[in-house]
Structure 1
Amino acid sequence: MKKRTKSFWTTLLTAMTTIALISGCSGGNGNAGNTANQAVNESGNNASANEAVQEETKLDNPNITILYHTSKEQYEETKAGNPDAYDVLWETVPEFEAKFGGKVNVIAVPWGDQKSTLISMVNAGDQVDVAQANDQNFPVYPLKNIVQPIDQYIDLSDEMWNKAVTNAFSFGGKPYAVGSTSTPIVIFYNKTMFDDNGVKTPSEYYAEGNWTWDTFREVAMELTQDTDSDGQVDQYGFGWWDAGYALMVGSNGRTLLSYNPDGTITTNYDSENVKEAMQFTQDALLKDKFIDSSKEGDYFNAEFKNGKLAMSAEYGFGGYNVFKSDYEIDFVPVPTGPKGEKDAGPGGLGGWSIPVVSKNPQGGAELIKMMSRNELNKSMENNVKLYGQEKVDMMNYLGSKILFAPIGVEQYWDANAAVLTGIKEGTPVGTFAATAKGIMEEGIKITLTQ
């Protein structure tokens, strides 16, 4: 399909949102971390945190303890190498202590050890007033009574709060975390390659309201080529982690897990939405062959930068770093699937919770509000400066439509591996979907009863 018009507007883009120009992160079905370096506001109302009415608050106890993934020494080291780096906690601590006159005790624990550490501290009765909420420690935290409903300490009607975060970290009808930002995953494309080949761009299709799996597939196949005429394909239309399977699930209107108001958990591996995403991904690899099936992961980043990959994906504005090259780069939402909602798709969400062992939940709530306000303001300020208001508005809009479900369920990765193996080996979709469903249902039983 050839271009009918040539647009010459450009931008750069990729993986997570980099406020402070910290590298974006890629990877499987993982989500971006909860720092202002990776986030944009996605409350859906475009309200600045500065617009919120600030009431003067006084704390009887201004001393709090927070479990966090980065130590002060680690942040100072990062800051020394990158003066633009911004960590919302460490930038907020001095402000909080100056305002309330207390002390913020930070217990720094690596990201992967957050869940086990908090569980151990709660079981021992150790004080923790604030903890991070992410995709892999939920629903375990509410199930094990590690964190408490947060709406008793924080007004969720405040426009600062991202409703997608609150919804994602609700369990049994109760909200357990809040956050002000989120990071949608978007499709980045090499505009130079599209123009040089006379191929209509994803942005042009999107402007027409016709950016779908079908048009994505067509341009991907058209740009999969043997550019040096040696009989071997050396340029591909698309590539990302897990062949982009998670992107197709989200863009077809589903998440792999559903957390129901009655506290039950169900899996969607057997839904038509998910099976269509499986089939589309399998066809992309084995039938249409616009993805290099022999490669995975970060390889695609390098190929994009080398001008050998037409499209990839990343979290938010992080692509401006990850795919930085001599080529013009632009971005669009993930293409809409046959059962999906326009512009809705996968992304990264994170938030803040108050553990049940908190001895100062009011103080914890004030720190959460201060960090969230700072994160929102910093992300909006820096992103507008770096990418322009139009791009920020688009990213905010997409973030308000993120489909997200925590994956902290036993055997999730086993079920996911069964799917990815089936996709790559050409196994009938119904067969490996049933296998994954069985594995996941067993994992749900374990998670709910352990």
Structure 2
Amino acid sequence: MKKNCRKVIAALLMLTMLIVFASCGKPESKNTASIGTNTKTGVTDNGSKEPVSTENETKPAEQTAEDEDPYPAFDFGGRTIKVGIWWDYYYTSAHTKITDDPGMSNAETAQMKLDNVRKIEKKYNCRIEYVNLGWNGIIESINTSIAAGSPECDIYLTDLQFGIPAVANGLAQRLEDIVPEYSDLFGKQVVLKPLETKELGGTYLFAEQGIPMSGIYLGYNWTMMEELGLEDPQELYKKGQWTWEKFREYAIAGTRDTNNDGTIDVYGFGGVFPDLVNGLMMNNNGSIAAGKQEGLSSKETVEVFELINQMYNIDKSARPWNAEDWNDNLLAWSDGKVMMWTAQAWALKQEADAALQEGSELPFEYRIVPYPFGPSSDKKVYSPVSGNWYMIPVGVKDAGKVFQIFEEFMNWHKGDTSLRDDPSWFESCFQRLEDVEMAYECGKNLKLDLWMNLPGFDFGETIWWPIVVNKDKTVSQAVEAAKPVLQDALDAFWKK
């Protein structure tokens, strides 16, 4: 049984229900790239309807006036620029009024988008068409039409699980070779941002810019810590003292038998393993499937597994894994069963709102802090790359002009990002401004690691279950057994 995939999908269905207000009728996701991220519907946490990946906070651009247009006009000969996605998109050249979008909720921004379409049509003598190919259809189109030399679309939206293989197999154009020097992508990055990863040998994927809401972090029960006389982890982080040693020390201190019945009823830590592994690993300069070679056996990643083994099996300061109920692991914090946990913004808000609906607030104050720095850390805070990313396929003629038109199309707000980005929902997930700022900080530096999206490799079965649940393998035994499985999966993935 694919333990991690089944449980992750179950958790994400809860997330999809919570943020359905932002989906505006788009099709529901079949799968996902990471915990707490709905990558296939194109729904984003910033309330925009475009398929953005929200990792970098932006400020309004200095240039806002119509007459300060950075994009030179040219005649594109009536060409239609086709963008392949997997839902119905608004607004394009096919639309004549803002009410064409049945889910339109903001008439002002809707009109701005539609007006921008008309402006681009006139300026470049072209049309913008979004083609709803469906999820399977877009994968087939990328793998067949591009390889045949006649790409069906000029631009494709991709999920990382098929966007990365497309790049690896030479199906995408290198953006450094085609993007105009005056573009925003390699400039201020107010409109678009590149996916920068050394494993790809250049920049091939890009996305709409947005505020950084996709970071991962630890939540903690500050009321409980204060009662124990512990220093605030945020203060330790600011002083550079939030380390694995301190994390382990706090977890031990928070593990208690509060009613003296001989049974531990509060654990220092508890949560779900995808975020725990990513948080500890990325803040220890490790990886599992960041490139073509397996990273399970690297020193940095093995150190992560040793810490997990220490907390779950030796210190016993981590709440035992509930193999039958994913949500029990995810939400035990809201019942006061753990002092620290793998926090997600939507879950914080969900549980706080649920308590209010029952007539009272949560009986404690919660805060967040980055995952602690490990012994191999470079002292920067990282989160995994998520979301959807565009690519321009090989074979598209005048790709630089296509990109310029698309970038201007996405700049319907003229650099006023307050029109695009709505942080109100995200900010409502936290109890203090300091935590909102901390959450943003956790989402600024991103790392690409495909271990949760890799067909043929199940981390739950190969690493987590043997070490944490069944406790029938040591770390070294589990890693040695899983290495060839992961490498075979990577070899197959990069050959797609």
TM-based fold match above 0.5: yes
Of 62, 74, 94 in structure 1, the residue corresponding to residue 114 of structure 2 is 94
Q: Secondary structure at the match of 2:378?
A: coil
Q: Quote the Cα distance in structure 2 between the aligned partners of 1:297 and 1:166.
A: 31
The answer to whether structure 1 residue 256 and structure 2 residue 256 are counterparts is no
Q: Quote the Cα distance in structure 2 between the aligned partners of 1:312 and 1:109.
A: 39
Of 411, 423, 437 in structure 2, the residue corresponding to residue 383 of structure 1 is 423
User: Which residue pairs with 2:161 in the alignment?
Assistant: 136
The structure with higher relative contact order (CA 8 Å, sep 6+) is 1
User: Which residue pairs with 1:55 in the alignment?
Assistant: 70
4+ residue stretches of structure 1 with deviation over 6 A?
18-21, 25-28, 161-164
The gaps in structure 1 that reach 5 residues or longer are: 1-14, 260-264
Q: Quote the Cα distance in structure 1 between the aligned partners of 2:247 and 2:452.
A: 31
Q: Quote the Cα distance in structure 1 between the aligned partners of 2:32 and 2:350.
A: 13
CA shift, 1:142, in A, is: 1.3
User: Which residue pairs with 1:191 in the alignment?
Assistant: 222
Contact 1:347/1:403 (CA < 8 Å) preserved in 2?
yes
Of 88, 106, 116 in structure 1, the residue corresponding to residue 130 of structure 2 is 106
Deviations 1:86-141 (A, max 9, x none): xx9x9986354232125443333565775345324435635212223443224311
Q: 1:200 to 1:114 in 2, by over 3 A?
A: farther
Contact 1:142/1:176 (CA < 8 Å) preserved in 2?
yes
Contact 2:58/2:190 (CA < 8 Å) preserved in 1?
no
Contact 2:193/2:206 (CA < 8 Å) preserved in 1?
no
- Which amino acid in 2 is paired with 1:153? V
Q: Quote the Cα distance in structure 1 between the aligned partners of 2:405 and 2:114.
A: 14
Contact 1:21/1:321 (CA < 8 Å) preserved in 2?
no
Q: 1:254 to 1:134 in 2, by over 3 A?
A: farther
CA shift, 1:173, in A, is: 1.7
Task: Give the percent of matched residue pairs that are identical in Structure 1 and Structure 2.
Answer: 17
Of 179, 187, 201 in structure 2, the residue corresponding to residue 153 of structure 1 is 179
User: Which residue pairs with 1:413 in the alignment?
Assistant: 457
Of 112, 115, 118 in structure 1, the residue corresponding to residue 142 of structure 2 is 118
Q: Secondary structure at the match of 1:294?
A: coil
Q: Quote the Cα distance in structure 2 between the aligned partners of 1:40 and 1:392.
A: 18
Q: Quote the Cα distance in structure 2 between the aligned partners of 1:112 and 1:30.
A: 22
User: Which residue pairs with 1:398 in the alignment?
Assistant: 442
- Which amino acid in 2 is paired with 1:400? K
Contact 1:257/1:267 (CA < 8 Å) preserved in 2?
yes
The gaps in structure 2 that reach 5 residues or longer are: 1-14, 24-28, 47-51, 91-98, 356-360
Contact 1:248/1:281 (CA < 8 Å) preserved in 2?
no
Q: 1:379 to 1:266 in 2, by over 3 A?
A: farther
Give 1 or 2 for the bigger CA radius of gyration: 2
The 5-angstrom pairing of residues 410-449 of structure 1 reads: 411=455, 413-414=457-458, 417-424=461-468, 425-426=470-471, 427-449=473-495
CA shift, 1:398, in A, is: 3.3
Of 315, 324, 337 in structure 2, the residue corresponding to residue 308 of structure 1 is 337
Q: 1:386 to 1:223 in 2, by over 3 A?
A: same
Q: Quote the Cα distance in structure 2 between the aligned partners of 1:440 and 1:354.
A: 30
Contact 2:34/2:452 (CA < 8 Å) preserved in 1?
no
TM-score, normalized by length of structure 1? 0.75
Of 370, 387, 391 in structure 2, the residue corresponding to residue 353 of structure 1 is 391
Deviations 1:385-440 (A, max 9, x none): 96487656544443333332345986562466312233223312122212222222
Q: Quote the Cα distance in structure 1 between the aligned partners of 2:247 and 2:20.
A: 31
CA shift, 1:194, in A, is: 2.6
Q: Quote the Cα distance in structure 2 between the aligned partners of 1:27 and 1:225.
A: 36
- Which amino acid in 2 is paired with 1:401? N
Q: 1:224 to 1:99 in 2, by over 3 A?
A: farther
The 5-angstrom pairing of residues 195-234 of structure 1 reads: 195-234=226-265
The 5-angstrom pairing of residues 270-309 of structure 1 reads: 270-289=297-316, 290-295=318-323, 297-309=326-338
Q: Quote the Cα distance in structure 1 between the aligned partners of 2:195 and 2:242.
A: 29
CA shift, 1:161, in A, is: 6.6
- Which amino acid in 2 is paired with 1:51? E
Deviations 1:279-302 (A, max 9, x none): 111222222232222256332343
CA shift, 1:335, in A, is: 0.9
Contact 1:64/1:364 (CA < 8 Å) preserved in 2?
no
Q: Secondary structure at the match of 1:99?
A: helix
Q: 1:100 to 1:148 in 2, by over 3 A?
A: same
Aligned residues: 417
The answer to whether structure 1 residue 70 and structure 2 residue 74 are counterparts is no
TM-score, normalized by length of structure 2? 0.69
Q: Quote the Cα distance in structure 2 between the aligned partners of 1:91 and 1:250.
A: 42
Contact 1:344/1:398 (CA < 8 Å) preserved in 2?
yes
- Which amino acid in 1 is paired with 2:391? S
Contact 2:45/2:54 (CA < 8 Å) preserved in 1?
no
- Which amino acid in 2 is paired with 1:298? N
- Give the aligned CA root-mean-square deviation in angstroms: 4.2
- Which amino acid in 2 is paired with 1:159? K
Q: 1:72 to 1:91 in 2, by over 3 A?
A: farther
Of 21, 37, 41 in structure 1, the residue corresponding to residue 45 of structure 2 is 37
Deviations 1:165-205 (A, max 9, x none): 5323x655221012334522111222233334444332232
Q: 1:64 to 1:398 in 2, by over 3 A?
A: same
CA shift, 1:63, in A, is: 2.9
Q: 1:116 to 1:231 in 2, by over 3 A?
A: farther
The answer to whether structure 1 residue 342 and structure 2 residue 382 are counterparts is no
